[in-house]
Structure formats: structure tokens, C-alpha cells
A and B are shown apart, each in its own frame.
Chain A
Amino acid sequence: MIIHTPTTEAQACAVVKSVVDSAVPLTLRGGGTRSALGRPAQAASTLSSAGLTGITLYEPAEMVIAARAGTPLALVQETLAERSQMLPFEPMDHRALYGSEGEPTIGAVAACNISGPRRINAGAARDSLIGVRLVNGRGEMIKSGGRVMKNVTGLDLVKLLSGSHGTLGFLTEVTFRVLPRPERIATLQWRGLSDEVGVALLAKALGSPFEPMAAAHLPARIAGEEALTLLRLENFSDSIDYRAAELALLLGDYGTPDLLEGTAPAELWVDIRDATFFAGSDEAVWRLSLAPTSGPEAAAAITQMIPAARCFYDWGGGLVWLAVPAYGDAAAAVIRTALKPLGGHATLVRAPDAIRAGVDVFQPLAEPLMRVTAGIKQSFDPAGIFEPGRIYAGI
């Protein structure tokens, strides 16, 4: 296995140009903590961003930060925290779920569109990513977007790169919009609600003017003794008091909530973000994205077929994390059949390579969209050298 570690964009272009002719596929690597995401890689050599590090721009008053792709995510977050700012989308850390080691990079957060519980309110990584620089499959340096939030100049290639899982280009630098950290964070917690009732509570809260930043429901099988229904508020201190009281009043039919602050609820939200409940098990793990109120229905349909399935809900019910026994197709057929009448899609986030090679890790696309997908891949990477087959076979 050859590992290319360019330290400049010019070197990265040269590496790509050198492999284009031989059509030797490359796997693109940041910190390597999420390499189990997607279909198993089929590459002989690696192009690493480890040599491209450092924050290149940080303007707190403009709420913008740019960093080379290999910069550790932790460094970006610490730098922002020093000025009481943060990435808006609360990126998931995959290390617990995969048992992987290493340092997550900011480039991979962009390339894989990694978000967390705040996604439902503050948008995904793709919503905050405002600029990229990348090497395409021709070995050309390409830029899209920039450092300003409002920018509709030309086609938005930034969005294409976000969530492309390395199949379109090698990111060298990414620019994100950032937000102030809230003055205070508090969690409202209800106990003992069923999935349907818990998600109905979350829907009512998210439709209120009190702006919950995160909304999750943990059934008893996940939470322990009783189910927990959770709303996270982030605001100025006085607003937290006011809004927590208003929400408790609005949602009085569901029982009296506890108001939690400090490290215990913070750790619980990290567990939700990182799906830590499924860490260390040998189950296959799915992520279902659907209309929030359909979450419990989908989970019930699946659990009826696969009684061993365990699940919990983020995004007000719109993100169902589901663990099932890791054999056969890892319940792909059951899950996607259950989603058919409800809409939405399912991604197989964790499973042994043999299973991920055999089932559609990402929801299959309608034929015209698959044609477009193949065309876009071709337009960036005509020789097919970047992460072949990572998102779909043949792409």
C-alpha cells in the first residue's frame, strides 16, 4: 500500500496527475476514523490529507473559519471555543461506533457531511460549508464558494463535494460559517413515554416558538430503566429559565420534566450524537432519515419483523438509529420495505465488509438520478480514481 502525503496543493495535484494515466484507484484519507463509512474501499493506494494542516483564516467578527483539510477537528473546535464560537452542526465522532482510532479531520467532516443533533435546527455540515478547494480527478485545483455566507455565483459545487465521500475530489481546504456558543445550555427530560408519545412531544416542542436546538427520544431498551424524552435549549441564561418554563407548561400533558444542566446531560447528548449505545456490540447499525412523525411507525414495522432490533430517535424522530443482527443483508430488505410507504432513506452505517459489499449501503437512486450521479462523477473524475464504489457500485 502506497500512502501519498502531499504537503502542498501543488504536490496533491501532482500525485493525482501521476496516477491518472495508470488509473490506479486512490482511497482518500483524513484521520482514518471514519473509513468504515460507505461501501468497502477498493483502492490500492492512499492519498492522505495528513500533510495539509493548519487554520488558514479565522475572523470571529465575520463568523468564518477556514482550515486545510487535514487539520484535526479538535483543533478547529478548540480555536473556535477560545473565542466563544463553535461549528453550528455538532459533528458526530465515529470513533466510538467503529472502535477506530486517530484524529477526525475537518476535511472529512466536510467530505462526509457529518452532523449531529443540532442538524434539525442549525442545518447540516453542508449548510455551514461555504467554500472548498479541491483537486479533481484531472489533477486540477478547483475552488467553489468562498469565505462569505451569501454567495450564488455559479453552480454550487460546494454542496456536491459535501457528502461525496471523497468520490469527486481531494479536498485541500474548507471554509465554514460558525456561530457564537450559547451562554447556557439546559435539557428538559421527561420519563417513561412510549415512542409515539415521545415523538409527538418533540413535534409539539419543535413547532413552538421556544426553539429547542436538539430533540431526542431514547426508548427504555436504550436508556436503561425508563424511556427518556429530551429537549435541549441553548440561549442566554434568562431565556433558558423562561423558555424551559414555557415548554413545561405547553407540554404539561406529558408530565413534569426535569431540568438538567452540567456534564451528565452533556454526556448523554454526546452518546446520542455518536450512537454510543451501539458501541462495542457486533450488531449492524443503520441510520434512517425520514419525516419525524414517521419515525416510530418505521421502527415499529421493522421491530415486528426483527424483534432483536434496538433503536433510538434524534432530530425530533426524523433520525432513527437502528441496530440489528449483523447477518444476511443486515435487514436491508425489511428496513427499505418499511420505509417505502413512509418516504425517507436508510444508510447502513456499520456492518462487516462482506455485508457492506453485498447490500446498498446508501439508498439506491431512481434511474434518472443514478445516471446524473454517474455523469457528475465522470465530470470530476473521468478516470474513476477516487474511492471507486464508495457510495454506489460503479461510481
Chain B
Amino acid sequence: MSAIAFPVPDAGILARRESIIAGLARLVPPQALITSDDERRPYETDALTAYRRMPLAVVLPSTTQEVAAVLRYCRDEGVPVVPRGSGTSLAGGAIPQEDAVVIGVSKMNRILEIDYANRVARVEAGVTNLAVTGAVSAEGFFYAPDPSSQLACSIGGNIGMNSGGAHCLKYGVTTNNVLGVTMVMLDGSIVEIGGAHLDSPGYDLLGLINGSEGQLGIVTEATVRILRAAEGARPVLFGFPTSEQAGSAVAAIIGAGIIPVAMEFMDKPAIEICEAFAKAGYPMDVEALLIIEVEGSDDEMDAQLALIVAIAREHGVSTVKESKSAMEAAAIWKGRKSAFGATGRIADYICMDGTIPTGQLPYVLRRMDEIVKGYGLRVANVFHAGDGNLHPLILYNCNDPVEAQKAEDAGMDILKLCVEVGGCLTGEHGVGIEKRDLMTFQFNPEDLAQQMRVRAVFDERWLLNPAKVFPLEGRVAA
């Protein structure tokens, strides 16, 4: 695929590569600076693997002070910087450019402090999402946002993309679970925003930083909320003869005042792909599957499930299958969370991430099917039904450039559809390069200019992750 443009590399910077590397070498230990072709290659893309660019150099600092020194140097030298967590962005948020230095936080992976009484943990930005939960689970606590890539993705990257997951229906997304950050500004100054307390004075910079895709600074530490886990959790499978029935059941459950911790939807192609991979016991004779998880004591879960089952029956559910053991429950979630990887075993795919008002679900499902079929392709749908966050996986063959282009076009049509019905381009993956050129469908020029003026407060010269989020044309400085 080649549809998404990158800025033309600055020839002056490319010509100065040796001196820039020498400058960086004065700031960080030798093992933190990566310059050889072989060692740089892992950093040339992220999870949007159709696009790649070899960066000028990669720096992997171990301390906030090193990040500050490198950022200040790059600012002084006018060199673009691409921040990187674990490189799992599906939107190309961490894809570099030839004239940019990648600053990766993967070596900053220490859990600094766990404070159970105040229910917070302070961690470095390179700590993986799952490692936060891992550090507190013995005491019965967990970190709530749970993107499917949680084994690999970093807290820094989660903050950059305001990541969500399957359980945010009840627990919110990253921005609702981060209380403070240490951030390095482009000029190298180190700022503390928020902390173990709530609601900082002045403008909500913490809220602005979450989801800012590495354009405002580099977060090196975060204070996150840790929550006490419920006494028990039980995912239950609900199979429906049609997607419409599944969609209306979701609306009816919420309408009845029940907020399950998760309500995940899979259509038939997704069920088949995930079942083949995870052997989770998904029903194969249904068109749509809901994984609904409830929490609490055994009695509480029984009571809530009884209500949910009754509603599902009113909406024509054909299979109800409860997990009978922790292993079965884990298999159910493994199937869902490996949907992307499992799909990758059978075909290349692009994963979209639009959000729609849930009332539009049946219409959008029908239209998506028409759109993808119109391009002669197949789609598998997995999504967070409770909050309308869709993840259609468009299957194609990446060795066929024509088909690749069709897949990308179909994806763009789907995202436009999401905006048309009152939703948005991206629910939790971020804009990155992938949806950058669609921003004008969701925002008018004044909206975008306002966002860009705010961005310019932090980075007047567009050095921080410069090719992302905003269309390359018409950029606004301060």
C-alpha cells in the first residue's frame, strides 16, 4: 500500500546524520543509541506493518533526564522526534520517518511505587499494561484499561493513544485511570502534572495529554489508579441467529439499567477465526456472538445473569453458555483478545476502529457488509458492543497491490460511515498516519485549526511526531 503520504525527508538533516549521531552519543550511554541498519530495522514500523520508514537513529533512554537531554538536543538541532512505547500501534502512531530520531521508552520499565491505601501505582512509561496488573494482582488489585495488546503495549503508549479495551464500559479508558504524569517538554523541561490526588488546578493538561499521540511531549512516568478486583468475574456466551438481534439485546440490557463490565460482539466470520485459534468453545451455529461479563459474588453474578438471560431470550438468543471454571473463562477471553492475531493467521487484514452510537448498530453492520462486498473483499467483525466501538477486520492479500488498495478504500468508507451516523473515526487506536487524512470528515477547518493551535503551544515547529493526526496540508502554527 502506498496511499498514505509521508513528509519529504529534510535533506539537510539526512546530510548531517553523522554529526547528529555524534551529538546523541554524548548524551546517552553507548548501549542506548542504535544506529546500525540491522538494529534500527525493528523500529521502522509498528503494528501498521504495511508502512515503514527507517529512522535516522533510535535512542532508548533509561532515565527521564536522558529523555530530556535528547529532546532538548533534537529541538536545538531541528530534528523531528518520534516517541515510541512498545510499537503496537495499529494506526501507525509510532512509525518513524527518515529524518527523525525515535525515542523509545522500553528500557524505562520499572514499577516505582505501589500505594494500596491510596489505590495508585507509579510506574515508568515503558512498563507494559499487563505488568501493572501483574504487580498488584497478588493483593487482589488490577489496572483497568485492557487493550488486546496488553501483554506488549506500554503505559506510555496507552497514554499516547488513550487506549481502551474490553472492560471500559464499566471502568473507563486510559484518561479516566491516569492521575498523574511526569512529562518531558520539547525544550527538555521536566514537568509533573497531577499526582496521587484528583483534579489538578488550571487547565486539564492531563486530559489533553491522554490521546495526544506523542505530539505534546514524552511521558516518562505515570501515576495510575489501581482498583480492587471484584470477588469474581464470569464471561458468558450468548449466540444469536442474527446480528440485529444481538444488537437489540445490547441496547435492551443497558436500557434495563444493567452495566455489565464487558459486552463484546463477534460476527460469524470472527467466531470461526477465533474458535479455530483458541478452542474457546464458541457456538458455531450462530450469526452473532456476545461475550457478556458480569462481576461480583457468586450470588450477585447469578442474579445479574438471570436478568441478562431473560432479556436475551426476549431478543431471540439461541445459545447461552456459561463458563464453568476459571480455565473456561480464560479461554473465552483468549479467543476474543487474540482476534487480531488469529485473523492474521488466515489472511492479511486491516483493523478499523470507528465508534458509532449503539442504536445505529444494525444499520452500520448491514452497510459495512455491503461496502466490503462492494470491493470484493471479506470482513470479520469484533467490537465492544456496549460502547459502539467497532473493529471490522478487512481481509485481503498484501502481495496484491490492487486488493490492498481496495482494502484501504473499504476501510476509509467504513470510517466515513461511522462519522455520518454520529460517531467518530477512532475509538481507542488513535489517528496516527492511518486516519490522518480523514480528519476533515469529522472536523471542519476551524475545529482542526483550534486543535493545531493548541498543539503548537507545545511544539511550535512541528518536531514531535510530526506526520501524525493532522493532514499534512494546511498545518497551523501558534
Chain A residues engaging chain B, CB cutoff 8 angstroms: 59-64, 84-85, 113, 115, 119-120, 123-124, 126-127, 136, 140-144, 146-160, 162-164, 168, 179-181, 183, 200, 203, 206-209, 236, 238-239, 242, 289-293, 315, 318-319, 343-345, 347, 362-363, 365-366, 368-369, 372-373, 375-376, 378-380, 391-392
Contact = CB atoms under 8 A, between A and B. Distances in A.
A238 B300 contact: yes
B428 A154 contact: no
B478 A292 contact: no
A391 B200 CA distance: 12
Nearest to A392: B202
Contact of A60 (B255, B448, B450): B255
Contact of B198 (A60, A120, A150): A120
B352 interface: no
A15 B281 CA distance: 62
28 contacts: A61-B251, A140-B450, A142-B447, A144-B447, A144-B450, A148-B355, A148-B387, A150-B168, A152-B428, A152-B430, A154-B443, A154-B469, A156-B175, A157-B208, A159-B175, A159-B207, A200-B117, A203-B117, A208-B228, A209-B231, A236-B303, A239-B296, A242-B300, A343-B196, A344-B195, A365-B201, A376-B457, A380-B453
B207 A162 contact: yes
B258 interface: yes
Main secondary structure on chain B at its contact with chain A?
Answer: loop
A319 B198 CA distance: 9
A164 B454 CA distance: 14
B199 A289 contact: yes
A150 B193 CA distance: 23
Contacts of A290: 196-197
A391 B162 CA distance: 27
B424 A148 contact: yes
A238 B208 contact: no
Contacts of B118: 203, 291-293, 318
Given A148-B356, A150-B427, A372-B457, A344 B197 contact: yes
B252 interface: yes
B4 interface: no
- The 8 A-B residue pairs whose C-beta atoms are closest, nearest first, are A159-B207, A180-B257, A375-B457, A150-B427, A379-B453, A291-B196, A362-B201, A61-B251
Given A61-B358, A124-B199, A146 B205 contact: no
A188 B341 CA distance: 48
A302 to B, nearest CB: 16
Interface string B181-200: 00001010101110111111
A153 B115 contact: no
A363 B355 CA distance: 37
B407 interface: no
